[in-house]
Chain A
Amino acid sequence: MAKKVSEYVIEACIKLSGLVVIIFVVSIFLFLLKDSLSLFGVHSVRDFLFGTRWLPISEPPKFGVIPLFLGSLYVTLGAIILCVPVGIGAAMFIAEVAPQYLKNILKSLIEILAAIPSVVLGFIGIVWLGPFLRETLGLKTGMCGLTGSLLLAFMALPTVISISEDAIISVPKTYREAAFGLGATRWQTLWRIILPASSSGIIAAVMLGIGRVIGETMVVMMVTGNSPVIPKSLLLPLRTLTATVAGEMGETVSGSEHYFALFAVGLILFIITFIINLIADVCLRRARK
């Protein structure tokens, strides 16, 4: 039976759409790479990757990415240390302890948190959390790494909780039944059987949480103080990779060294998140088996 022309057209469109998705990822990478390479034509890769100073408008300009990288690393580590235990604990509670009605309420609340735009949390950081931390900890300024870490930990919670919860729930029923049959309590079962069995999924949850934190822009730009120096502590102002791109892009001349340097920063972000997501994907697939 001959297919109608319209059917060929629609099937071609469907296949083309799949192709377009691949094209997007490849072209995002290539665009970033192309502009980064323009920087490396005039500026050595080594000075960029290992340089300890980011002074884009001094003469001559210095584009050392280390302070920004460390800024991102510190803020991310701070956020993850706060977010992971709390997130996994809450996931355990929601999945295994809470009765059904409470489970529904808790999940809706977490969906609400996931929906709050990051710029609103940044705003709360400026008007409340920053000043609050400054006063309680006696800091010079509340616009510092810690404020960023706290807000990012809060933002990453929905990701960590929902994926960990999925992982815990998807542990086969037989595991629980076997443990209960041997006389284990619910807690013993959860801690010694279910948690280890869902470890792949939980690792994926943590990785995706990290990816979310590293990539977040508005919160860190608004509350971490925007100081591109090597951070000595989380209690001082610092600046992340993302905040640098967002903050400086508007001020650069298109085609200048500074402009290309920001694309190189973007390329680093792309590569970091690419690797993190790849690891998370592998873990998720292992968890599904």
Chain B
Amino acid sequence: MLAKGEKMNTARIREKVAFTVLGLITLLVVLPIVLTIVYMIKNGAGAVTWEFLTQSPRNGMKEGGIFPAIVGTIILIIGTMLFSLPLGILSAIYLVEYAKDNLFTRLIKLSVVNLSGIPSIVYGLFGFTLFVMVLKFGTSILAGSLTLAIMSLPVVITATKEALESVPASFREISLSLGATKWQTIRYCVLPYSIPGILTGTVLSLSRAAGETAPILFTVAAFYLPRLPRSVFDQVMALPYHLYVISTQVPNMPAKLSFATGLVLIGLVFLMNLVSIILRAHYRKKRQW
């Protein structure tokens, strides 16, 4: 009896030790995240002024602001959305509502899996050959948006798929039993309930696209272009590429401005994530099934 009690005791002690170690490991993950954010804010916040946000870079980018880069990134986000949203949502509708278990469906699923794994620089190469060279869009907003859109497709498709699947089958059955066609059912009984979920995933995918550098390297990004674009065939500056340029290609760059640029980029991406989180919370509260 005593021996058994002791054994139990060592098991309890072991549990304590193991859980403490797991806690420390988790701290090892969490601490650098907090430090990264604090580090960027501490070094960059002072330089994020109204002038910095609204003026063009001057004097070989060592002075002035990042206005063209902010505008460029926002244009690319909108461009990406215009292409990836309809295509992604329609593909997901196909997969959830129409697809039968056949070769075609399996190929689409396999393609989505693989699109999500292709390195961003390979998207850059592809976008460069197809959009810049073959289709002759040149290094342009159009080429960059299309490249980013293809890269974001798997995220949009997966998020939409999950949103559609979370609508109970009974909604569809009732609609169909009342004589609605398949598309009417999707349009009026499935999509309205999955829109918030779709938006959540889409905003998240766009925030990722906004922070990407590799796909826009050869498709749209301009090294230094202190004016706003006039058409979709113009190049633009973009925040992530601008940060890359000033932190590696510009000698004697004031560190303050690099930190501030990084902070604005993080801020933009977090803002989009926040929108996505709020949408998700709102959606969960409203859901009634």
Mark A residues whose CB is within 8 Å of B.
1, 3, 7, 10-11, 13-22, 24-25, 27-28, 31-32, 35, 85-87, 89-90, 92-94, 97-98, 106, 109-113, 115-124, 126-128, 154, 157, 161, 185-188, 191, 208, 211, 214-218, 222, 242, 245-246, 249-250, 254, 262-263, 266, 269-270, 273-274, 276-278, 280-281
Contacts and interface: CB of A to CB of B under 8 A. Distances in A.
Contacts of A246: 121, 124, 214, 217
B125 A120 contact: no
Interface of B: 11-12, 14-15, 18-19, 21-23, 25-26, 28-30, 32-34, 36-37, 39-40, 86-87, 90-91, 93-95, 97-99, 104-105, 107-108, 110-126, 128-130, 133, 150, 153, 157, 179, 181-184, 207-208, 210-214, 217-218, 240-241, 243-244, 247-248, 255, 258-259, 262, 265-266, 269-270, 273
Nearest to B12: A185
29 contacts: A11-B98, A18-B99, A19-B108, A21-B87, A25-B111, A27-B130, A28-B123, A31-B129, A32-B122, A35-B129, A86-B28, A86-B29, A90-B29, A92-B22, A93-B19, A93-B22, A98-B26, A106-B30, A113-B33, A119-B243, A120-B265, A122-B244, A123-B247, A215-B118, A222-B248, A266-B122, A277-B114, A277-B117, A280-B117
B153 A110 contact: no
Contact of A254 (B30, B110, B133): B133
A28 B124 contact: no
A274 B117 contact: yes
A14 B182 CA distance: 12
* A121, A124, A126 interface centre (most CB from chain B within 10 Å): A124
Contact of B126 (A32, A112, A121): A32
Nearest to B24: A89
A117 B266 contact: yes
A24 to B, nearest CB: 6
Contacts of B18: 187, 191
Contacts of A280: 117
Contact of A97 (B19, B117, B211, B244): B19
B273 A111 contact: yes
Contacts, number: 249
B29 A185 contact: no
A59 B86 CA distance: 49
Contacts of B37: 112
B29 A119 contact: no
Given A117-B213, A126-B248, A31 B130 contact: yes
B111 A15 contact: no
A72 to B, nearest CB: 10
Contact of B119 (A15, A25, A217): A217
Contacts of B208: 115
A269 B25 contact: no
A7 B186 CA distance: 11
Contacts of B39: 124, 128
Contact of A120 (B15, B28, B93, B262): B262
B121 A242 contact: yes
Given A32-B126, A216-B119, A266-B122, A250 B265 contact: no
Given A11-B98, A117-B240, A109 B87 contact: no
A7 B247 CA distance: 53
